[in-house]
Structure 1
Amino acid sequence: MTSQDELLAAIGWAAHNGWTPATGGNFSARTDNGYLVTASGVDKTCVTANDLLLCNLDGGVLEGDGKPSAESDLHAALYRLDPTIGCVLHSHTVASTTLSRRFPEGIELSGFEMQKALQGNQTHAATINLPVVPNSQDMSELADHVRTGWPMPWGFLVVGHGIYAVGNTIAECRRHLEAIEFLLACVLEESRWSKS
């Protein structure tokens, strides 16, 4: 499977999980001369190779029709920031959006077996922090927030916005996104218990 096919499969998987409402989210994978990224406004449930743009690491489009979303510049900034990043998957879910607003300083996790799906974690007994950064419509400002908190080996949440998962490969990034979504769903469910 080519990296393009693998990226398309990851996008379709995220969309069919309901993580890309109203054409939301953007997805990319590093290439030899830049990165492939979804074009703006594309319905992620039926994305095709024609909906991917090849961009350089400054965010300029090298190949493809359509335009990249403004957030493509954040993908470019991440690839420039850390040469080990091979993939960025950005989704919008209820859990990631609401919990990023409730815990703008970061979300503490401890005791969840699924923590071990996040690269570098060996035990559920560890306490880890999912970083949350302030939101901004200015991608250079948002990138500055991310740089300030780096390293973030699995990605980060943006307040009121969603998750940016990262990984060395598409498969690792996909695992990080799925694990984070699961963990956030658990935290959201536990917050309901505390109110009952």
Structure 2
Amino acid sequence: MYEVEKKELVAICKLLYDRNLVTASDGNISVRINDAHLLITPSGKNKGFLEPEEIIVIDMEGNVVEGKGKASREYPMHRTIYTERSDVNAVVHTHPVYATAFAMTGQNIPDHYLIESRVALGKTGLAAYAPAGSAQLAKNIRPFVKDCNAVLLMNHGAITYGENLMSAYNKMEVLETVAKTIIVSKNIRTPVPIPD
């Protein structure tokens, strides 16, 4: 069931791994199949080496409908996004180095240095720390979901979402590139904002 979608999800996992946006078993990715079911990556599996048959189908309560293994414990965060945004059909959560560096220092990624921030991402949220997979983490991202397409998770990582899997992936790639460019440029000189 959902073989095409599972193959696409695995391809995105490999891309995230190849681009150093996820390492080993970190992060989780999901796709909304319908109002009742999601595809989600399994817990404890290296994203760079996943196979389509390892992808789990869950209901909105996190119960496994199809697949072997354990679904990612972060599903409450995914469910919050799908509940708040009917236009979102894919969620990508990773621990990219530069974006996570912003999150670890309690700073949001400014959108006034690079046009890519404004065009591809829009506003980015910064959610308070809560343990991975907790109901509190899902609660902490809720205020940002409607107005943002990316949220930094303090001392944890980042989450992006979009109308499809490629859109959610692209936002994560842009988020990390913008974060990296800002950090690198600060080593040269204070970055100059985009003129109003």
TM-score (ref. length: structure 1): 0.86
**Residue in structure 2 matched with residue 48 of structure 1 by the alignment:** 51
Q: Does residue 183 in structure 1 map to residue 178 in structure 2?
A: yes
User: What is the rounded CA distance, in whole Å, between the counterparts of 2:145 and 2:29 in structure 1?
Assistant: 20
Match 1:101 to one of 92, 104, 110: 104
Q: Structure 2: where are the runs of 5+ without partners?
A: 191-196
Q: Does 1:135 align with 2:135?
A: no
Residues 134-171 of structure 1 deviation map (CA, whole Å, 9 limit, x = unaligned): 12116211111111233243221101211111001112
Give distance in 1, aligned partners of 2:20 and 2:159: 16
The code of the aligned residue for 1:47 comes to L
Gaps of 5+ in 1: 120-127
- 1:28 paired with 2:23, answer no
Whether the aligned pair in 2 keeps the contact of 1:107 and 1:130 (CA below 8 Å) is yes
AA of the residue aligned to 2:180: A
Q: How far apart, CA to CA, are the structure 1 residues paired with 2:170 and 2:162?
A: 9
Tell which deviates more after alignment, 107-116 or 163-172.
107-116
C-alpha displacement at 1:103, in angstroms? 3.4
Aligned partners of 2:124 and 2:148 also within 8 Å: no
Structure 1 range deviating more: 4-13 or 39-48: 4-13
**Aligned residue number for residue 194 of structure 2:** none
Mapped to 1, the partners of 2:100 and 2:136 lie a distance apart of 20
| Match in the other structure for 1:17 | 19
Count of equivalent residues: 186
Task: Summarize the Cα distance change of 1:129–1:80 in structure 2 as closer, same or farther, 3 Å threshold.
Answer: closer
1:155 match? 150
Deviation (angstroms), 1:190:
2.3
Q: Deviations over 1:23-44 (max 9, x none)?
A: 1111111102311000001011
Contact 2:126–2:151, Cα closer than 8 Å, also in 1: yes
By how many angstroms is 1:173 displaced? 1.0
- State the alpha-carbon separation in 1 of the partners of residues 150 and 118 from structure 2: 15
Counterpart of 2:130, as a letter, is S
Identity of aligned residues (%): 20
Instruction: Report the residue type matching 2:135 in the other structure.
Output: S
- Confirm or deny: 8 A CA contact 2:39 2:55 kept in the other structure: yes
Q: What is the deviation of 1:76?
A: 1.9
CA contact (8 A) 1:29 1:37 kept: yes
Q: TM-score, normalised by structure 2?
A: 0.86
Structure 1 vs Structure 2 CA RMSD: 2.0
